[in-house]
Amino acid sequence: MIRFVPLMLLALLAACNESMMTDLESDMTGQPQVPEVPQLPANVLAALPPGVPPTVVFVDSNSCYAVGIEVTEPQQGYPLRGPDGQQICVAGAAPAVAADLAVADSV
């Protein structure tokens, strides 16, 4: 009988289905919560490292895109850089470092 206990436990685990597990991830209305995927520009998606989901991309305090590495307030991460090595920013925004360099050069 002792030899059959692991088999019975395996059968019990096999009886659990996905629908039971997704109930834990549902909101108060009973609808499963799907992580919201932000609409990102094509150059941001192309700059993501392989295997990194777009859900971890955020806009930092310099109005540039970054990849979050931990959940903190304010959010922290590393900047996304394009193929030219420049930081990818929101349209119309320039990285603060480049702006500081421009000010230093003009002095």
Name the residue range of residue 84's domain: 40-107
- Residues paired with 77 in a beta bridge: 68
pTM of the model: 0.54
Asked if the structure places residue 7 within a domain, the reply is: no
Overall number of domains in the chain: 1
Asked if the structure places residue 4 within a domain, the reply is: no
pLDDT tens digits along 20-77: 554 445 556 666 666 666 688 999 999 998 999 998 999 988 899 999 988 788 888 8
pLDDT tens digits along 62-98: 899 999 988 788 888 899 999 999 999 988 666 555 4
Asked if the structure places residue 82 within a domain, the reply is: yes
Tokens of 102: 């421009």
